[in-house]
Amino acid sequence: MRRRHFLGTAAMAASAALAPGVGSAARSGAGMAQRLPRPLSPGGTVALVSPSSAVSDPFDLQLAREVMEALGLRVTTGAHYAARRGHLAGTDAERAGDLNAAFADPQVDAIVCTRGGSGAARLLPLLDYDAIRANPKVLLGYSDVTALHCAIQARTGLVTFHGPIGTGSWNRFNADQFRRVFFERELLRYENRIEAGDELVPRRNRTRTLTPGKARGRLLGGNLTVLTALAGSPYLPDFDGAILFLEDVSEAPYRVDRMLTTLSLMGVLDRIAGFVFGECTECDPGDGYGSLTLSQILDDFILPLGIPAYTGAMIGHIREQFILPVGGEVELDADAGTLRLLAPAFAGG
């Protein structure tokens, strides 16, 4: 452990020397007090905003509204949530303005992102972190929304939520997760739903233990590509003692290898207490000379850490997915393949 701590400290120092933004990011998150969002209840108002890519089919926006209403919520929309500028849902100023307005509006109880895609990181210098800190409320989304989760955690300490987007699938599992997390405010134990179907032994939604054991810490992470793209910026939270969760989509294994290398060189992996990898959807190596498998890559980077770790959690670009509190206190059980919320994720809860 002493050697690992020394290596992690050395890596952090080297990283900070090469890229001052990495050091400033760590300092901005260090000692940041956790801030909990206000509870969300049936009848509350949710704002649909589009901080990333544009929604191509207006019917999808109608469905997003109907889903929120079916969950028992009232809906308002960002002024530019249906806008389009190239692949983006409006200009940077328009998209950031919609987010800032939603946080500042006392009538809005929660913010749900319509979709991910690309572009949220462009907004980070334009967000009003003082207003976000003063008006803590639910923010829900995943994939490209990882940029918002990271920056808001680093700058305000506010717990946000990694989970389904407004235009995504709102199947029975996801709707049930939403009610249990936000309305009933359960201290959930996140465990994969496994059904054998007509198989003698279940094959889907299986987890794999990398290193056994349990670990506790703040839950941080999200989309691997988006998170590593923030390297060198002041918008990454402090990962000391954290439980890191990652997922991705349509990335060849060599690219996953490159991004985990980045996290290792930054010193992030040497500072975490536990690790869970969700799904890397459509991450096949494709044609060519050959490739390490995703399992080999994870083994190479995670096993030497000696920390509790597992893969296969229902996190990522999949139909049924967990709604996870980014910045919440959790316990990881690598043997059971579970995450357990240790403390309420809402103010007054």
Q: Residue 271 — φ and ψ, nearest 5°? A: -105, -10
Contact 4, 305 (CB under 8 A): yes
Is 282 among the residues known to form the active site?
A: no
The reply to whether 331 belongs to the active site is no
Name which of 229, 338, 320, 318 is nearest 276 in CA terms. 338
Q: Is 58 exposed, middle or buried (0-12, 13-18, 19+ CB in 10 A)?
A: exposed
Q: Catalytic one among 28, 317, 329, 331? A: 317
Q: Which of 184, 208, 95, 187 is nearest to 141 (CA)?
A: 95
Catalytic residue at 317?
yes
Question: How many beta carbons lie within 10 A of that of residue 325, not counting itself?
Answer: 25
Contact 40, 27 (CB under 8 A): no
Catalytic residue, from 50, 52, 53, 143: name it. 143
Per-residue CA distances from 234 to 26, 105, 122, 229, 292 (Å): 8, 26, 13, 12, 32
- Among 53, 162, 247, 251, the active-site one is 247
Position of tokens 């990181």? 121
Dump strand ranges (E) for 56-120. Answer: 74-77, 110-113
DSSP state of 201: S
Active-site annotation, residues: 143, 247, 317
